[in-house]
Amino acid sequence: MKKLLVGIGIIVALGMACSKDGVKPVEDAAQEAIMGIAEELPEAVYDPPSKPAPVASDFRPSLLTTFSDCFGSAGGLTTVELDLAWDVEFDGYYKVIYHITGAGEDVTDNVTVSEDGTYSRSSNTLDTASCDPTFKVEIVGVS
């Protein structure tokens, strides 16, 4: 009988919480604790960017050839690096997605541009059908 009473006492105790104001249901005590923490937190402030986000047409891409090797009638290998220019100002970082055509297979890649005017350089090694390839690059997206 003592074990049964102890078990009932634990179940009752689990459903109640003690505070300086007396015994309360756990749900009420938990709600009060959450509200107390919420009152101490500063209100979240959304700070929208002061400058508009860039779009694909804001960027002027070109390709720099950094390596080229010709294998005669077998074609060649050419490594190109994206050179990117822009005149717009923006806040934050953006991923600029570009597409290269003129190789055996088209290549889509991206670089990250920063509000301070820097960007992560990216190079691509391309198989070509000839030793004098003509590549084209275009910006296809900004995110």
pLDDT tens per residue across span 20-63: 556 656 666 666 666 666 566 566 676 666 889 999 999 999 99
CATH code, 73: 2.60.40
Judge whether 96 lies within some domain: yes
Is the confidence at residue 72, as pLDDT, over 80?
A: yes
Sequence letter at residue 138? E
Per the listing, tokens 């390709």 go with: 63
Distance between CA atoms of residues 9 and 84, nearest Å: 73
The pLDDT of residue 109: 96
For position 134, what pLDDT does the model report? Answer: 94
Domain identity same for 105 and 129: yes
| Structural domain span for residue 108 | 56-142
48, part of any domain: no
pLDDT at 34: 60
Residue 49 lies in a domain: no
Mean pLDDT of 117-141: 93
Domain membership of residue 47 (yes or no) is: no
Residue 32 and residue 8 in one domain? yes
Rounded CA-CA distance 102/125 in Å is 12
Q: Are residues 82 and 136 in the same domain?
A: yes
Q: Are residues 63 and 36 in the same domain?
A: no
Tell me: do 28 and 60 sit in the same domain: no
Residues 68 and 130 placed together within one structural domain of the fold: yes
**% of the chain with per-residue pLDDT over 90:** 59
Instruction: Please indicate, yes or no, whether residues 15 and 79 belong to a single structural domain of this protein.
Output: no
pLDDT tens figures, 80-101: 999 999 999 999 999 999 999 9
Tally of domains in the chain? 2
One domain for residues 89 and 126: yes
Share of residues in the chain with pLDDT > 70 (%): 66
**CA–CA gap between residue 19 and residue 30 (Å, rounded):** 11
